[in-house]
Amino acid sequence: MNFWQSARDELRRCCDLLLPPACLLCGERLPAGLPATDFCPPCRDGLPQPAPARCPLCAVAYRSPAPSLHHCETCLRQPPPFVKVHAVGPYAGTLQDAIQRFKYHGQLPLERPLGTLLAETVLSGRGPRPHLVAAVPLHKNRLRARGYNQAVQLARQVDRHLGVPVAPELLCRVRDTAAQQGLDAAARNSNLRGAFAVSHPVSARRILLVDDVMTTGATARECAALLRAAGAAAIEVAVLGRA
Ligand SMILES: [Zn+2]
Ligand SMILES: [Zn+2]
């Protein structure tokens, strides 16, 4: 830890004493000892939990409650270019609320608790560590309007916990596409065709691709296929919410 990091931590401790930190979801005061960047225990406990039965590849939830090793219809029909999707939970309830506040309402401090949840989910998968973390890119027009790319912010938080380097500009968005919201699966695929590019060849074998939400998986498929074509051997995807 360098001088500036320890000075910043010390300053944060002093601020916490003067102004006890509040939960970023409900605004209630955090119990003593919890980092200012966490959600309070009731909010954490109230986050929607992943479905017990889901596709082992793309994490889509099955209706049946029994855990299953069967791949979903989409993955059987068209095997994805990634090997696994880590999802904190379904895109619903307080998780959806937190993601929307983080993404659309500029509530950047949420990157810490959400990034922590994402890193914990990846670590609980007990798979081999990735060599590199990449993020689904925004087109420069949208980046200019929003001021930040939520996927890059989350990727940096994953790096903080896993100690794996982030390549924020490895993927770039070369075409400004219409929003994916409201499009069906076929329209989403054609909307994304040729939208992304990889900026340089990849020497990392295992890459963790980070995004905030996965809906049909079209974006993750497109980006993972490009990373594979650029030289990566295996791609895992990490998202907060799985629709
Ligand atoms: Zn709370
Ligand atoms: Zn699947």
Q: Cβ(161)–Cβ(236) under 8 Å?
A: no
Ligand nearest to the CA of 70: 2
Tens of pLDDT, residue by residue over 167-212, are 999 999 998 877 777 777 777 777 788 899 999 999 889 999 999 9
**For residue 78, which of 185, 237, 233 has the smallest C-alpha distance?**
185
Mean pLDDT, all residues of the chain: 90
Residue with structure tokens 């001021």? 147
Ligand nearest to the CA of 23: 1
Ligand nearest to the CA of 46: 1
Residues in the chain: 243
At 184 the three-state DSSP class reads: coil
Q: What does DSSP say about strands 166-167 and 196-198: parallel, antiparallel, or unpaired?
A: unpaired
Ligand 2: centre distance to CA 224 (Å): 15
Tens of pLDDT, residue by residue over 32-55, are 877 767 899 999 999 999 988 999
| CA pair distance 99, 96, nearest whole angstrom | 5
| CA pair distance 208, 206, nearest whole angstrom | 7
